Amino acid sequence: MAMRRAPPLLFPAAAKHTATVIFVHGLGDTGYGWASAVENWRRRQRLDEVKFVLPHAPRIPITAAEGMPMPGWYDIFALSGRTDDIRKDQDERGILQSRDYLHGLIQAEMDSGIPANRIVLGGFSQGGAISLFTGLTAKVKLAGIVALSSYLPLDSKFPDFLKENDHNRKTPVLMCHGDEDNVVPMNFGKMSYEMLKSQGFDVTMKIYPGMPHSACVEELDEVETFLRSRLPPEADKKTEL
């Protein structure tokens, strides 16, 4: 039986729609949790041709919360803040289900006329983790991937998934992390970054001193700059001609 999912929160492009950003929230949150960040980017009018899609995770029992149902992209077995605990037990089935769902959102944008190279996938915490995994194993080459305060799930099996789809080795990836994160340790994010870098992925990592497991203005400005660089307005091209 298919999992019941609420439709994503949508922010239409302010001008002609030529690009899409799919941004994925973290554990226990909803798409509405990132609406203010998107509204701020839209107010600054540097991403006018971009439609934003903020999906909502289904409510699932979370083992680390004694089975309490909450919005989650996959089950989490430990919230100790230790890298080994996060890596030890991972909900592969849930991760792959969410990957399929996000692949479906990407395909829906392509079906509406937006090419894959005008789509960025990103997210925060668990949403960043599933975005990183989904984007790097996508069936199409994306414009970019953003992973905030997150990590690469199923890292020990990652080479096997790349055998199925390896189209995004040269896709720019932006990873950001606070050095006082006690939920997803910065060192775990750095471990994921170094692993991807060693395998030839085009990944950049920004560290924010004093930032806990959250976002900050400087980080969101960095994301905006990345989005603008990966999804430049097509109107600019016409002006140049």
Which residue numbers are catalytic?
A: 125, 181, 213
Distances (CA, A) of 18 to 21, 115, 235: 11, 9, 10
CB 147 within 8 A of CB 131: yes
Sequence-ordered list of residues with C-beta below 8 angstroms from that of 12, at least 6 positions apart, any chain: 51
- What is the distance between the alpha carbons of residues 138 and 131, in angstroms, rounded to a whole number? 10
CB 121 within 8 A of CB 135: yes
CB 231 within 8 A of CB 120: yes
CB 145 within 8 A of CB 168: yes
- What is the distance between the alpha carbons of residues 5 and 18, in angstroms, rounded to a whole number? 26
What's the gap between Cα 76 and its chain centre?
A: 17
